[in-house]
Amino acid sequence: MVQRSVESIARNVCAEPVRAEPKSALRATLLARREAQAEDPAQAARNAALAERLRALLDERAVRCIGFYWPVAGEFDARAVIADWLASDDAREAALPVVVQPHAPMAFHAWHAQSPMKPGRYRIPVPEEERVVVPELLLVPCVGFDSDRYRLGYGGGYYDRTLAAWPVAKKPATIGIAYEMGKLGALPRESHDMPLDAVVTEAARY
């Protein structure tokens, strides 16, 4: 089941520069638009197109382990794409991020389509089995993104901290997952911000 509210996440993890709108206000606006879009009759077609583009990208990547996310607040649900990708090769693995403690790097626990789940921090489901894996590619949910592939997330900094403390020398490829409605001119940037390697939407790959 896709969780419909991001209130607990936002509260707890908390071409022009988008009219200088503060990130927090911009985030709230985009989240409201995305949840409203989820009720649009055209959303099924958007999701089908995004799934097709995402699977095409994954088929181009020679990776054996993908980290993705449990969908909340109108995010694209990548579980079917990942399950299909896993079914194509028994050697493949997938994993979900787990917040071990607040304001710390996340771990990734192995997931498959039949994995029993339990409530994690911020009420986001995580695998019951706590087998840690190290993904070679991450699907990163975006509240918004810009033409240079910089991401607007939920404001907690979890992906930044996780990538900065990655447990092996080679960092994973980062693929943002978003809808076209989240595309912006240019996001405000800080010195630690890094662009994603790609962003996939229902209409394009950036």
Q: Is the pLDDT of residue 9 over 50?
A: no
Residue 63 lies in a domain: yes
- The pLDDT value recorded for residue 18 is 46
Please provide the DSSP assignment of the chain as one string: --B---HHHHHH-----GGG--HHHHHHHHHHHHHHHTTSTTHHHHHHHHHHHHHHHHHHS--SEEE----BTT----HHHHHHHHHT-TT-EEEEEE--STTSPPEEEEE-TT--EEE-GGG-EEESS--B---SEEEEE-SEEETT--EE--SS-HHHHHHHT-SSSSPPEEEEE--GGGEES-----TT----SEEE-SS-B-
**What's the structural domain count of the chain?**
1
The whole-model pTM stands at: 0.89
Cβ-contact 166, 206 below 8 angstroms = no
Q: Is residue 170 part of a domain?
A: yes
160 in a structural domain: yes
pLDDT of residue 10: 41
Per-residue model confidence (pLDDT) at position 21: 59
Q: Confirm whether 176 is domain-assigned.
A: yes
CATH code: domain of residue 131: 3.40.50.10420
For 24-34, what is each residue's pLDDT tens digit? 999 999 999 99
Q: Is residue 1 part of a domain?
A: no
Q: How far apart are CA 54 and CA 38, in angstroms?
A: 19
147-188 residue pLDDT tens? 999 999 999 999 999 999 999 999 999 999 999 999 998 898
Q: For residue 58, is it within any domain?
A: yes
**Residue 118: inside a domain:** yes
Range(s) of the domain holding residue 71: 7-200
